[in-house]
Structure 1
């Protein structure tokens, strides 16, 4: 299965501009043969919309934002995973939705909020394994900081995920560069899964982003990577059968349950 990942320069607080950008990327990804498009954390609202704005921009999982993303998916014949601000009652979550446009929607809520900015805007969710099937593969979702806790990726891998999709808003700087250049490949290798890590780029006025989006394979190799600056639409073919030798050599998951 081919996937596409949009390293995106979102417009902070402008849902219409961001939805238009996602729709354009969906068309380009479908033309490129992708079955799935992944866009960054809070791509619909922009990560830098501001703590107070998220409450106004948030939409229920059954609301307009997901309906519009589903329509884009249906029109282009491609599934989409996109970050958005989700409202449930008085609570607002930093969420990501999977929609295939033909009736399958699934929402993952970020469990590990990063910094005072996120903690002021969102409610943390209980860690959960949200998996969906697409093209014969099982996809698990995390958001940004969640992937930096190895337990989260391991939980999805043990639940049978082939691909872990991580919309992110990784900040520019030494830590961000290290996470992108080293941690993502390690998470893929130590769990023998594919990892798609999809960031914003440039600056939105509040934050500057690392870019460096990437798609890593189970053997730790990079299938696609974006530069630090500027938008990029990445493509990668996700073929688990190509990595049977890697799984046979690196038996971490099987050895977790092996009797002492």
Structure 2
């Protein structure tokens, strides 16, 4: 999991530094923040087709940069064309093989996050996939606030929920949501976030985090370490799913 800096470019010195640190840590699975490359489109209240196309292009270049990390599995998201708007597509890269996992289904619409203006889903979401040897589901940012989706993932055999985010300065609510997602699903929950202040003054809160299947915090990013590796044991998730409150019938 990681904090991705604002306005990150896949051919920049900043990205090269991130790649070097990832190589040093050598994770089996890397979870990035939501749509990690380029400007945050949803800061604008008006859809702009040219800016949308540029973000698509940047994230296509980002696929090459992510594949070059030589990490066995990467989960991220990117904008893809969806008619007259974009879809926010979560995907996995494994050995250079691309798999679309999920389209974001739920969108905020407020200053800094006019996502309903920019995005709409073009495929279903909330399916369980095996990625990097573990069964996982995706909840993109705001979707983490929907506990019923987390609970369903656990019921459908997920062992890990990954949460790429681009959330604001308020961190506490996201930690609460992450803990609750783990508690109701019996899954590990791992989330990465965009971090820093844009030239226009919008602040992203950073704070990548991981929770254990019992809802207890496992790790968080810090001011000195923006990329953090944690150990995930699928057997522990499966065992937790027979415990309270996961076993309680609806």
TM-score by length of 2: 0.82
Equivalent of 2:107 in 109, 113, 135: 113
Equivalent of 2:248 in 230, 233, 255: 255
Q: Does 1:40 align with 2:33?
A: yes
- Larger CA deviation: 120-129 vs 65-74: 65-74
- 1:235 shift after superposition: 0.7
- 1:22 shift after superposition: 5.2
**Equivalent in the alignment of 1:209:** 204
Q: Does 1:69 align with 2:66?
A: no
1:1-150 alignment, distance < 5 Å? 5-11=1-7, 14=9, 16-17=11-12, 21=14, 24-47=17-40, 50-51=43-44, 52=48, 54-59=51-56, 65-66=59-60, 68-69=62-63, 72-73=66-67, 76-116=70-110, 117-124=114-121, 128-150=125-147
Structure 1's 138 and 22: CA in aligned 2 closer, same or farther, altered over 3 A? farther
Q: How far does the alpha carbon of each residue in 1:44-87 deviate from its partner, in whole angstroms, 9 at most, with x for none? A: 2342574426422243xxx8845752563365143212222111
Cα separation, 2, equivalents of 1:71 and 1:200? 17
Cα separation, 2, equivalents of 1:200 and 1:133? 25
Equivalent of 2:186 in 167, 192, 203: 192
The total of aligned residue pairs comes to 242
TM-score by length of 1: 0.79
Contact 2:35–2:78, Cα closer than 8 Å, also in 1 = yes
For structure 1, the residue ranges without an aligned partner over 5 or more in a row are: none
Structure 1's 15 and 91: CA in aligned 2 closer, same or farther, altered over 3 A? farther
- Larger CA deviation: 243-252 vs 184-193: 243-252
**Equivalent in the alignment of 2:157:** 160
- 1:142 shift after superposition: 1.4
Contact 2:82–2:121, Cα closer than 8 Å, also in 1 = no
